[in-house]
């Protein structure tokens, strides 16, 4: 069963007509919070199909996965031909060309954090908009930000993993959570690292509403 999560609306069309429905094809609480932060009224319908990739280039991977998620939800019967807006997004971490998604288990989380500590990596977030008209309009883009981390001892890594925070996050860490204690520098938009480059998202939405 699909559960619809309704959020109070603040963003209105300037002509006073009914706003197109905005659907977030992601269950990420971080993306939800970022859309709420800028006053967007939206519905959450997470994409659930197994993801697949055809590229090994991080920017291409996040764009491809964001497109898959948006297409899955846009193809649901209530939205086909409805002219609503579906937003798909995906985030990954890349260190020296090695792509890191969400950890499979605690051992995987430890290996990721062990590699990231004391180094600089890049976080990529891809976003796809689909306007679900008879001929769908598709816009895909990605943003990147660099993150440098202080060194972490094995004990610090294990203590962080024990909080459970790393287990649903790309690269096994949340910059907005307890791992903030180990972030020495960022280059780029902070929200790209959190999971949605919200300013860019808003600028695109303005052209679609």
Does residue 58 contact residue 36 with C-beta atoms inside 8 Å?
no
How many C-beta atoms surround the C-beta of residue 122 within 10 A? Answer: 20
State yes or no: is 90 an active-site residue: yes
Q: Which helix (H) or strand (E) holds 4?
A: none
**Encoded tokens for 10:** 């603040």
Instruction: Mark residue 77 as left, alpha or beta (left: phi above 0; alpha: psi -120 to 50; beta: remaining).
Output: alpha
Of 15, 41, 84, 90, the active-site residue reads: 90
Between the alpha carbon of residue 18 and those of residues 35, 45, 84, 141, the distances in Å are 19, 21, 11, 27
Catalytic residues: 90
């Amino acid at each position: 069963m699909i559960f619809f999560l309704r959020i109070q609306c603040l963003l209105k069309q300037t002509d006073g007509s009914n706003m197109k429905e905005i659907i977030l094809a992601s269950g990420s609480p971080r993306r939800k919070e970022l859309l709420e932060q800028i006053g967007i009224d939206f519905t959450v319908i997470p994409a659930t199909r197994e993801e697949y990739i055809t590229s090994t280039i991080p920017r291409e991977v996040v764009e491809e996965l964001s497109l898959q998620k948006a297409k899955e939800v846009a193809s649901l019967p209530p939205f086909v031909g409805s002219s609503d807006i579906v937003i798909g997004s995906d985030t990954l971490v890349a260190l020296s060309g090695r792509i890191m998604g969400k950890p499979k288990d605690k051992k995987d989380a430890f290996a990721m954090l062990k590699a990231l500590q004391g180094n600089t990596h890049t976080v990529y977030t891809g976003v796809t908009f689909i306007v679900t008209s008879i001929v769908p309009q598709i816009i895909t883009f990605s943003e990147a930000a660099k993150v440098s981390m202080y060194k972490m001892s094995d004990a610090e890594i294990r203590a962080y993993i024990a909080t459970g925070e790393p287990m649903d996050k790309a690269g096994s860490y949340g910059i907005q959570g307890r791992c903030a204690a180990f972030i020495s520098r960022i280059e780029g938009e902070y929200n790209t690292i959190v999971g949605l480059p919200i300013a860019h998202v808003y600028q695109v939405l303005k052209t679609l509403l």
